[in-house]
Amino acid sequence: MIEGHRTFRVFVSSTFSDLKEERSALQERVFPRLADLCRSHGCSFQAIDLRWGVSEEAALDQQTMNICHEELRRCQRLSPRPNFIVLLGNRYGWRPLPPRIPADELEELMQAVESADDRALLWCPPPPTEPEPRRHWYRRDDNAVPAEYVLRAREVEVAAEGDPESRRAEEASSWSELERRMRAALLRAIEVRGWAATDKRRKKYEQSATHQEIEAGLLAGDLANAREHVFAFVRDMDVPTADPTAADYIELLPSGVVDSDAVVRLRELKSALQGQLGLHTDDLTGNLHRYTATWSSAGPTTAHLDELCRDVERRLSTEILRQVNHGELLAGQDVENRAHEAFGAERAWVFEGRADLLLTIREYVGGPSSHPLVIHGASGSGKSALMARAAFDLRSAPAASDGAMIIARFVGTTSASWELRSLLVDLCRQLEPEVDALPAEMRDLGAELSARLARSAEERAVVIFIDAVDQLNDSDGARTLWWIPRDLPAGVKIVISVVNQDRWMSGVFWAAMDVTVPENLLELKEMTEQDAERTLDEWLRRVGRRLQHDQRADLLSQFAGPGRGLPLFLRLAFEEARRWSSFGTFGGDRVRQHGLGAGIDGLLSSLFMRLSDEANHGALFTRRALGLLAAGRRGLAEGELLEVLSRDAEVLADFQRRAPRSPRVERLPFVVWARLRAEVEPYLSERAAAGGAVLGFYHRQLEDFVHSRALAGSERVRACSALAEYFEALPAFHESLEAQRVRAERSPPHPG
């Protein structure tokens, strides 16, 4: 994850039914203006409201809270201040069942559940000779470490008669009753077991979804800077409980009586927020704003909306401008460094085994050779991970490199690293940051790099890693590698990696052979089965997972097939296998529908089929979203992707068909993309770019596969045309050179 780049990503936490007008006003009147403000300063703005425009989209697979918490954590990691706003009204909000419960915890509670019917709904051990009956909503997953119980995907049987809307309403009502009943049984069991009111385990059973978000975004975190990154906006209103039209604005029990427990909890939550943030006054000392609305026959009055919009825009824009003007956003060179560090750390994490290769690199660094070391191998053989781990080890153990300056660059990680000129400028500035003057001519720039290498090595050894030189743009003859010194100055070592099997980059491989000597060629071959087993077990251990014996044997037998012993295959197989439960391949009841498939293409085909399932994300949305990412020349920002998808009438129609109870929308709700991103996250790479971060595929084989599946025939024309129309309509596309110069002086872009 790239930290500190120029993106303001703000998570919006609110209840759903009672704050539609407030959220609509912010979406229509405030967030677009904040996006324009950020864009004028070379930044981007994203408002993450997962409840916007969709009432039940993320609930069916019981992943709502997992997605919300992950998006909140992403806002906190990614964005400078501000990153979290709260909207509260008269509802405490939906209180979900925990999607996962530690096994020992649920089994303790089950001992206190007296009703046999409630035990059957939740979980109870089946007879030894019988399979676990389907009516249990929690299933034990022994692939989790420690073991846990997982809430089933939402499937409620209703009568087949009636129109689709009536059946959906009946299904929602049936599930709501089941959820209420199971939660009540768990709460009674908590009281019987005598858990103290302060026991943190209680929160996931008692708190509303909004309260849990606030806990994660503010109350449970570091409060030192809360008044710089968290803002709360609270609407107060007296709602007549006897008015049947007020049901969406107050908390009622199924009997129609006001839920007094929810009323108390909401009052306490508002009080806690005000205590932490302070009540807003004219001198801007507090971050909690309060508004008053009155009830009418048509619902709440809306006179407060103008003030709400003014306050949200003023508070967020003030904080955004403070950071822009005070230089708290990272400068371009800092972003470049952070991006490569983050990419390297991620790749080093997945590297296991192959100790002989690391030893060869250490011996080269400490040896007398005056030529570069060339690491070559087939696509997917683990070159990037090896380079990243070698650089990490040298930095972590200075004695191994005698205190050398270690520079690692991974081509394609940032917009600057694709181009030879910006890569050379970056390396020169890394070597001598205090010397700004650089030649304009490319040949002179290459000579300047050699000169700076020699001068830097007079003070300490220099080791440079450049991964994937075959991916450089060849506009300056970059792939001939003329810019890499054949004879290195004393104290300088350069390690490069290149693919040795490629249909259109084979010339780069031969150029790489020309820059070194035979003894400095290091080929990456297929992993041994022993290394694969150790690597798989270590990766699973790190994420708190394990596999059943037959699952593990099945995966490793696939890896050992002809031509499949590549780290990329193992990584892709691991990312699928970590989702497997002990009771099936997938975390629900759709067991082994697709399996792993044969080879990398087969594995990716199975992944694509799973994502495209109608019960998952649907074929059209999966194809269009991933296709746009592959069609983007250097990746796409999430905001750009959502905007282009929202302009696609077929995508919007497909969303409306798949979420028929959602209000009509003109923009695709972010939650739809958030759910897909959560599943494809391991296959994506976030790269630094001017004004923010862009997403792309972390390996070229993945991108090639998506091209073949999602951009075949007319789909490629459609995607490229959609991107062209979007970018051509942007104001910056039509800026004069003078306007671009002024904007660049106000907010310097990243290198390149």
User: How many CB atoms within 10 Å of residue 254?
Assistant: 10
Q: Of 96-100, 157-161, 611-615, which one has max mean pLDDT?
A: 96-100
Q: How confident is the model at residue 145 (pLDDT cuts 50, 70, 90)?
A: very high
Highest mean pLDDT among 112-121, 149-158, 226-235: 112-121
pLDDT tens string 418-457: 889 989 999 999 999 887 788 888 899 999 999 999 999 9
Which one, of 403, 610, 579, 422, lies nearest residue 491 by Cα?
Answer: 403
pLDDT at 398: 62
What's the whole-number mean pLDDT along residues 593-610? 77
Q: How confident is residue 484, by pLDDT bands cut at 50, 70 and 90?
A: very high
| Residue 111, CB-side half-sphere exposure with 13 Å CA sphere | 8
C-alpha dist (Å) from residue 577 to 150, 547, 571, 584, 683:
16, 8, 10, 10, 14
Listing from the earlier edge strand, what are the strands of the sheet with 148-151?
Answer: 100-102, 148-151, 138-141
- H/E segment holding residue 374: strand 373-377
CA angle 742, 745, 751 (to 5 degrees): 120
How far apart are the C-alpha atoms of 459 and 462, rounded to whole Å? Answer: 9
Q: 644-693: per-residue pLDDT in tens?
A: 999 999 999 988 888 776 667 788 888 788 888 878 888 887 776 665 67
At 1, the pLDDT band (50, 70, 90 cuts) reads very low
| Greater pLDDT, 570 or 2 | 570
State the pLDDT at residue 482: 92
**What's the length of the chain?**
752
Residue range 518-542: mean pLDDT, rounded: 90
On the question of pLDDT at 5 being above 70, the answer is: no
CA distance 264 to 258: 11
More confident residue, 394 or 221: 394
Element (H, E) at 317: helix 304-325
**What token pair was written down for 289?**
């704003």
Of 59-73, 191-205, 219-233, 717-731, the poorest mean pLDDT is in 219-233
pLDDT mean over 517-525: 91
Q: Where are the beta strands (DSSP E) in 454-517?
A: 462-467, 492-499
- Helices and strands (H and E) in the chain: how many: 29, 17
pTM for the structure as a whole:
0.82
Tens of pLDDT, residue by residue over 225-273, are 666 789 999 999 998 888 888 888 988 888 888 999 999 999 999 999 9
Average of per-residue pLDDT values in the chain: 83
pLDDT the model gives residue 222: 54
Greatest C-alpha distance within the chain: 87
pLDDT at 588 over 60: no
Mean pLDDT of 287-312: 92
Token pair for 282: 């004219």
Strand, coil or helix: what is 249?
Answer: helix
Bridge partners for 464 per DSSP: 407, 494
- Give the residue with greater pLDDT, 647 vs 64: 647
Element (H, E) at 744: helix 737-746
**Is the pLDDT reported for residue 340 higher than 90?**
no
pLDDT band at 307 (very low <50, low <70, confident <90, very high): very high
Peptide bond connecting 254 to the previous residue in cis, omega within 30 degrees of 0: no
pLDDT at 470 over 50: yes
Mean pLDDT calculated for residue range 539-553: 92
Alpha-carbon dihedral 160, 163, 166, 170, rounded to 10 degrees? 10
User: Which amino acid, one-letter code, is at 83?
Assistant: N
What percent of the chain is modeled with pLDDT above 90? 39
Strands (E), 681-732: 684-689, 692-697
Token readout for 735 is 């800026």
Q: Give Cα separations from 230 to 1, 2, 26, 395 (angstroms).
A: 22, 21, 16, 37
Q: Residue 12: is its pLDDT beyond 60?
A: yes
Task: Kindly state the helix (H) or strand (E) to which residue 140 belongs, with its residue range.
Answer: strand 138-141
